[in-house]
Amino acid sequence: MNKKWWHDKAAYQIYPKSFLDTNGDGIGDLKGIISKLDYLKDLGIDIIWLSPIYQSPFVDQGYDISDYYKIDEKFGTMDDFDTLLDEAKKRDMHIVMDLVINHCSDKHEWFQKALQDPEGEYGDYFYFRKGKNGNPPSNYRAYFGGSAWEKVEGTDYYYLHMFAKQQPDLNWNNPKVLKELYTMINWWLNKGVSGFRIDAIINIKKDPEFKSFEPDGPDGLTSVCRMVDSVDGVGELLEDLKKNTFEKYDAFTVAEVFNMKKDELIEFVGENGHFSTMFDFSTHQLSFGEHGWYDSKPIQFEDFRRVIFHSQTECLDIGFLANIIENHDEPRGVNRYLPKHARNEAGFKMLGTVSVLLRGLPFLYQGQEIGMQNCRMNSIDEYDDINTKGEYKMALEAGLSDREALEACYENSRDNARTPMQWDDSANAGFSSGTPWLKVNPNYKDINVKEQSGRPDSVLNYYKKLLALRKNDSYREVLTYGACIPMYLDEDNIFAYAREKDNHKVIVLANFSDKPRVLNGDFANRPILLNNMENITLSPSSVTLMPCQAVVFGEI
């Protein structure tokens, strides 16, 4: 495998709106991010992915872009952005932008022009279709609920939106659209961004006939992903995109891909794949309900372990995955993946250990490094997220009570990850001197960066050690390129693996159960590289792990 500049890097996702507000308007900004670059460097971060900061009406928090060439004034100016690029560079850090090109905002100039004349030049930038007998062109349900077709007032036309109706899908069959997008991407790469996280990209290939499918829910609609699943040929679009943009700059790209087809992994992230890497969403997918959040299932440890090892094995000879426990679309990982007895600092460190030391790029999400948790909201009005509102509505329609629907939101809402970053125990967790745009999790008095910076055994200091271990001269190679070999698979609630390359070997052991566990093996002579507890019980032929204990052993 040819080595690439990004193979041994650690990444961190910033959700700019909730990171740090420096002018008291309640919204995080670029100046806030600049002021925390040293914090991130010290944590061990090389690549920073910014969720969208482009001009946007914020119907879907910036994933609805109205001008791809502008920084939204909420976040600052293009000068601020240039300063961020310079300051990151000085610290040998990389800035990666979010690239949202499956759709744009309905306030984008292209769409505004299209609305005026759906049959004209700009109409062909989108998917306008005539309705059928007074109904939409097909029975697709948008990802955020409701029909994926929106009627254009005063015409027979509907336009397609796979997400919110304010996010019309761009027509990737139109060469003019591709040219506009490639020019824009190259403009940002010329500016000095190191690459992109690529949003919802699997959705760009459509079946232009837009056939209806069997309904899959009580609303008589079928998820629009049925159409995505039914078409082939996304690879050609992705290859063309790469050749005209990323490849020319040796850019780093990480794709958000959900419904990839079987055996496509090599085309996506192989040596000459469409992308550098893509997120491993296999654990996240375990929680999917049949109809929505209201019938989502708690995750069982056995499944959690199985799907991670499956991804690790599948990718070994192909490429690298990006490993996450959470992002801005998911609840907090500690709530989702840890059993109740493990929702404490030892447990948070244990989850961090098994995730960060996997083969692939570790992506931390803001607040993960201090163990931020889901936030209890008292009514649907306290939520902001458009997806949460849609899921709440579906839950009520399916017959759940208000309390039950809110519970489903507590377990699944994207706003769990979007509450402001908890910097210290002053008002609003030190995030803003004004009124934060979204509720601050009341647990900030106990869980915040300041408290944890000053405490050697904190979750924050443990994450620093984890990332430092990946970069340690003696272990960097094996932790970057070494295979991930599952261990103790017949032991329930034990997450264990070795990272192996040539004659080098690192062993990671974690006890997710609520009882002490004895694992047979010769560990006594190995150096202990990390231990999330003070002690460890070793005998010549075994090791005993306390509940929530995670230990990393090095080379003899």
Of the pair 412, 532, the CB lying nearest ligand TEU is at 412
CA distance 31 to 14: 13
Among 143, 348, 462, 553, binds ligand TEU (CB under 6 A): 143
Residue 100 interacts with ligand TEU (CB under 6 A)? yes
Task: Report, in Å, the least distance between residue 297 CB and ligand TEU.
Answer: 15
Among candidate residues 46, 60, 106, 199, the one labeled active-site is 199
Residue 63 interacts with ligand TEU (CB under 6 A)? yes
Binding mask 288-327 for ligand TEU (x = CB under 6 A): ----------------------------------------
Structure-token pair, residue 486: 């599952």
Among 335, 366, 387, 458, binds ligand TEU (CB under 6 A): 387
Residue 163 interacts with ligand TEU (CB under 6 A)? yes
Among 25, 87, 264, 500, binds Ca ion (CB under 5 A): 25
Residue 200: contacted member of ligand TEU, Ca ion, none (CB under 5 to 8 Å, by partner type): ligand TEU
25 C-beta neighbours (distance < 10 Å), count: 15
Total number of residues that touch ligand TEU (CB under 6 A): 13
CA distance 62 to 72: 9
- Sheet containing strand 483-487, edge to edge, reads 483-487, 494-501, 504-511, 550-553, 528-531
Among 200, 227, 429, 494, binds ligand TEU (CB under 6 A): 200
Amino acid letter at 150?
A: E
Q: Where are the extended beta strands (E) located within 140-233?
A: 140-141, 149-151, 157-160, 195-198, 222-223
Residue at token pair 């201090």? 370
Residue at token pair 């979750």? 459
Let me know: does 413 contact 383? Beta carbons within 8 Å: yes
The window from 17-25, 107-115, 161-169, 281-289 that contacts Ca ion (CB under 5 A) reads 17-25
314 is catalytic: no
Residue at token pair 């990393």? 552
Residue 25: contacted member of ligand TEU, Ca ion, none (CB under 5 to 8 Å, by partner type): Ca ion
Of the pair 159, 444, the CB lying nearest ligand TEU is at 159
Among 39, 258, 301, 410, binds ligand TEU (CB under 6 A): 258
Let me know: does 94 contact 252? Beta carbons within 8 Å: yes
Residue 21: contacted member of ligand TEU, Ca ion, none (CB under 5 to 8 Å, by partner type): Ca ion
**DSSP single-letter state for residue 127:** -
CA distance 187 to 502: 43
Residue 27: contacted member of Ca ion, ligand TEU, none (CB under 5 to 8 Å, by partner type): Ca ion
Residue 410 interacts with ligand TEU (CB under 6 A)? no
Residue 106 interacts with ligand TEU (CB under 6 A)? no
In order of 14, 336, 418, 438, 465, the CA distances from 36 in angstroms are: 11, 28, 18, 21, 19
Let me know: does 255 contact 201? Beta carbons within 8 Å: yes
Let me know: does 302 contact 492? Beta carbons within 8 Å: yes
Among 10, 14, 20, 27, binds Ca ion (CB under 5 A): 27
Task: Report, in Å, the least distance between residue 28 CB and Ca ion.
Answer: 6
Of the pair 184, 536, the CB lying nearest ligand TEU is at 184
Task: Report, in Å, the least distance between residue 205 CB and ligand TEU.
Answer: 15
Among 12, 15, 16, 21, binds Ca ion (CB under 5 A): 21
Total number of residues that touch Ca ion (CB under 5 A): 5
Angle at 221 between CA 217 and CA 222, to 5 degrees: 80
Rama region for 300: left / alpha / beta (φ>0; ψ in -120 to 50; rest): beta
Rama region for 450: left / alpha / beta (φ>0; ψ in -120 to 50; rest): alpha
Residue 417 interacts with Ca ion (CB under 5 A)? no
Task: Report, in Å, the least distance between residue 213 CB and ligand TEU.
Answer: 18
Task: Report, in Å, the least distance between residue 363 CB and ligand TEU.
Answer: 13
| Contacts made by residues 225-231, CB under 8 angstroms, sequence distance 24+ | 225/143, 225/258, 225/259, 226/140, 227/138, 227/140, 228/202, 228/203, 228/259, 229/259, 229/261, 231/205, 231/206, 231/207
Strand partners, 71: 54
Of the pair 32, 292, the CB lying nearest Ca ion is at 32
Of the pair 158, 163, the CB lying nearest ligand TEU is at 163
Residue at token pair 């958000």? 256
Residue 239: contacted member of Ca ion, ligand TEU, none (CB under 5 to 8 Å, by partner type): none
Of the candidates 271, 277, 201, 282, the one whose C-alpha atom is nearest the C-alpha of residue 47 is 277
Residues 297, 302, 308, 309, Cα dihedral to 10°: -160
Residues contacting 407, CB < 8 A, separation 6+: none
Counts for the chain of helices (H) and strands (E), in that order: 18, 23
Let me know: does 440 contact 415? Beta carbons within 8 Å: no
H-run or E-run covering 453: helix 449-453
Among candidate residues 72, 106, 256, 280, the one labeled active-site is 256
256 is catalytic: yes
Residue 30 interacts with Ca ion (CB under 5 A)? no
Task: Report, in Å, the least distance between residue 434 CB and Ca ion.
Answer: 8
Binding mask 227-256 for ligand TEU (x = CB under 6 A): -----------------------------x
Among 23, 83, 542, 544, binds Ca ion (CB under 5 A): 23
47 C-beta neighbours (distance < 10 Å), count: 23
Of the pair 11, 543, the CB lying nearest ligand TEU is at 11
Of the pair 23, 443, the CB lying nearest Ca ion is at 23
Residue 384 interacts with ligand TEU (CB under 6 A)? no
Residue 139 interacts with ligand TEU (CB under 6 A)? no
The binding site for Ca ion (CB under 5 A) comprises 21, 23, 25, 27, 29
Annotated catalytic residues are 199, 256
The binding site for ligand TEU (CB under 6 A) comprises 60, 63, 100, 143, 163, 199-200, 256, 258, 328-329, 387, 414
